Structure 1
């Protein structure tokens, strides 16, 4: 998400400065008769407000907790927005009838302390509109489960009765719950980020696993007929999963409906360069199919998508613009380079590698050669906080500005976008759609301002469409289940000249809701370690290049 992520004070004592955002909660709340959106994020000193889910305005509050919020809980009930922070102490629930103005008051002085290490950390507040009952769910641990409790509205949302365990992780049967990169670490995994969604009388209690600092961070769900269970594991888990591509990780967020009734699932994407917990916010189309299966659509999830103005069909594939990545591994020239932080790193689709200029001064440039003339439609600039010294988020100096120019021949340049003509704001993941598509071979970034002492960029992404053919369907795709049925060995025949592939899978031929994106310069074999024991699966593959996406292969059944 293109918001002004705040410099994170969590590591102030270690003198590590970086922007970060994690553990998002987006609430659709009525303001002046119209439903609008509020975004709450870990350690941000405030929150964001939007009328359209595209343009977000940062707000500070008249009253805020005694320390900044981690993994906040929020819920809209009638005309009131409630807000609560993660805590192991006694902390208040806040409420607001004017959150768009930053006006909050204490709803209670809340909770007696729970036993040591129990929480409520990573809480979720849930109001069941059908019964007018209130609940809280929470948990962040590799020892304890996700907990739940009813709350007593007559006593200002105090606990009503005893809290109880809802479920534990089971990495021995659920491959995706295993810890580490690509679920490869035997360390005991973490569950966190509870969230409750009620859909057609069923209660979907969601959770994040197995760890926020890995590419496989995902959201799953258990389902029940009662808000306090017993809950049954959804055999199609994970619900939201994006282990490949640029923005990897999709866990610990929430599920909400927009003004057209469409569902969205938010999550936390991993950066992990300056600190293991350096993160960003992602949001994917989501929903429930005709059988009640919950899903989130992460296919091409970090490519440009449309913001809907109506109810979408199916799983939201229609929101994908079809604008392809034009910049992957394309040649780059820079006006200057600091040490070994070479310009080639800005087109490798890895947020943990970056280019740095010798000086942070206006006029430094990066120029990508797309190698052939393409139709350029959008760019994204992802800044890196390299040896940053900022801890105050002062908007007078913490802002980003640049210009984008295009050229057909590398000699005559046309200005395509100029952020100096907009109000100053910090856009560390700035996404810019050009006013009109431009035919160009070269795309140039011209630096104006960033507050950090170093100008460093992890990725300069260019989107649009080429004028050639879409790739053919990959051949000889196979998926073979291992003896340890949490794993499957994937293999396919590479196609020369394509950018990459999407492996799609699910529990039925028409439920291929999971996606793992690979690049063509990756190996064409992969051990997928995200499957559930005792569940048959169906797999398929597609290829993509600058021009578009191939037809999907035949579906392969794996028992």
Structure 2
């Protein structure tokens, strides 16, 4: 194929896969495709975030433990990013948002932090944990070293709050702050936001950290100049996404509001909150806006902003929003696992931002597929999606052994709550996936499950060691990745290949995992099959139901499709919401997350192993 014709072909494919940056590079440099072979590969990541999640032991009566992570607070401080989360005996540091190193603090007065809040002020990184009683407020000027000091050993109680275990008297608030959030405004004033309840709202108060009076001693470093202010509460009768239960289906339990986080952008304050409950696929982030840090706040009609009810990773509530070093916005969220315990969870990282007129958005489209980590300021609408498609869904899987009710077929069903379990947790056990034909493979993700784990805290043997092999014919194998000397645990190991390879078989060869059993929830393979992407689906109907918080979306099946993305938003150019649905499910979806009185636009796209279709025609969901 002549050079320019080959370039035009690649550009057309990249545009159809939403890889605009790659297409632009090809146009800018006639030999870019040749040069790229010698250039280092661009960094990619995939959710759940690949960190060494710590073992927790909430179910002591059953003797079961599990790796978990939730309520992530990410902050940029002195050239690095720091990740704090619930139920960890430390925190993580990264310089690129891809590779994270766990840091064990040398001074940690907590049994384990829960729903932590962070604040960068006066050249210090502050850390507060959720609590129902006075707790220390820590700070560090060098968190990379693990060294922390007390700003105050005991935070004074928020005015007008009640001690835990006491009845709430008239004019008093529940004890706290639970699920705290800290924010410093441009004028230097600091604010505390908090609350986690299906009865009480979120609260806020100005908090004086006496940054210019540190020499006066710990006892005088924290005061509250005013009284708490009631900020926001849930309205599930108006906001469909705030209803409790899986797919918002439980009407007997009042939903929870929690996870306050504040950002300021363009002179406006964005108070983020989580609802309706962390133990479901629809755990999401919403936002209220104001022109003052303590309100009054106004509900955003485009809520929820962080929402991921479908796919392998489900749930995107209770996290944090932050800017990276290039000026790109990100949102973190809590994802639902829920196998061993209701609150078994993971962490997700998603691109985020603001439109020119101030609408906040979080992009969870293909949020559990590989994405590029930006190395520059993204342009409006520029996608980070690699275009690497899922090659392993429902593919044939075989294993060296298994126990009853946990066959290898469960390792390709895109469900972290089902998993293959080997008969023995011993070196040499294998799990093999047949992709059904030669495919261009670019990355593999190994997601472990904790089946009757029985571990707690940290130990030298809680490491993940294995090898990944690839083959074209199932007889001749070569190494794709070798973690035989790994020194850390990787519950969700994401392994991009250095070079794309044509393969039909992917094999996991076990060496060690620090658990009682070898259990793998999914062996996920990403890349592409040769050929054009699927055609756009035909959108048949989109109609609001009698309860206008709900709508029914129907489309025609696309032959060969792996799945579909139902996308909706306030306008055709703002389809920021996504519900991913696999093709072995009906091509009809009941959306239950709509706001009453809001007009929506909806469309559907199909995807397969070759790429993503263009969007269907759009339809309007009138209020």
The two structures share one fold, judged by TM-score above 0.5: yes
1:70 matched to 2:111? no
- Uncovered stretches (5+) of structure 1, i.e. residues with no partner: none
- Deviation per residue, 1:236-268 (Å, 9 max, x gap): 000110000000000000000000011100000
Partners of 1:279 and 1:242 lie apart in 2 by 14
Shift of 1:13: 5.0
Larger radius of gyration, structure 1 or 2?
2
Shift of 1:340: 1.7
Aligned twin of 1:193: 259
Aligned twin of 2:461: 397
1:314 matched to 2:394? no
Aligned twin of 1:258: 324
| Cα contact 2:56–2:457 (8 A) shared by 1 | no
Aligned twin of 1:228: 294
What TM-score, normalized to structure 2? 0.87
What TM-score, normalized to structure 1? 0.97
Match of 2:539 among 472, 476, 480: 476
| Cα contact 1:286–1:316 (8 A) shared by 2 | no
Shift of 1:474: 0.4
Match of 2:442 among 362, 372, 377: 377
Aligned twin of 1:327: 392
1:487 matched to 2:550? yes
Q: CA RMSD in A?
A: 1.1
Shift of 1:78: 3.7
Match of 1:28 among 49, 70, 76: 76
Aligned twin of 2:179: 122
| Cα contact 1:377–1:436 (8 A) shared by 2 | yes
Partners of 2:497 and 2:377 lie apart in 1 by 26
Shift of 1:43: 1.1
Alignment of 1:68-467 (within 5 A): 68-108=112-152, 109-112=154-157, 114-115=161-162, 116=164, 117-128=174-185, 130-154=186-210, 155-186=220-251, 187-317=253-383, 319-394=384-459, 396-420=460-484, 422-467=485-530
Partners of 1:165 and 1:14 lie apart in 2 by 40
1:555 matched to 2:618? yes
| Cα contact 2:127–2:137 (8 A) shared by 1 | yes
| Cα contact 1:477–1:540 (8 A) shared by 2 | no
| Cα contact 1:92–1:111 (8 A) shared by 2 | no
Partners of 1:423 and 1:527 lie apart in 2 by 44
| Cα contact 1:134–1:157 (8 A) shared by 2 | no
Match of 1:545 among 600, 608, 622: 608
Match of 1:59 among 85, 103, 112: 103
Shift of 1:315: 4.5
Aligned twin of 2:171: none
| Cα contact 1:175–1:531 (8 A) shared by 2 | yes
Aligned twin of 1:50: 94
Shift of 1:495: 1.3
Shift of 1:316: 4.7
| Cα contact 1:477–1:541 (8 A) shared by 2 | no
Partner-residue secondary structure (3-state), 1:43: coil
| Cα contact 2:463–2:486 (8 A) shared by 1 | no
Partners of 1:461 and 1:66 lie apart in 2 by 37
- Deviation per residue, 1:401-436 (Å, 9 max, x gap): 11111111111111111111x542100100001111
Partners of 1:246 and 1:510 lie apart in 2 by 26
| Cα contact 2:313–2:336 (8 A) shared by 1 | yes
Shift of 1:14: 4.3
- Deviation per residue, 1:347-398 (Å, 9 max, x gap): 000000000010011111111111111001100001011011211311x200
| Cα contact 2:337–2:344 (8 A) shared by 1 | yes
- Deviation per residue, 1:57-89 (Å, 9 max, x gap): 111112213421110000112410000000000
Partners of 2:423 and 2:225 lie apart in 1 by 60
Shift of 1:112: 2.1
| Cα contact 1:285–1:315 (8 A) shared by 2 | no
Partners of 2:238 and 2:209 lie apart in 1 by 39
Aligned twin of 2:56: 8
Shift of 1:9: 3.3
Pair 253,11 (structure 1): closer, same or farther in 2 beyond 3 Å: same
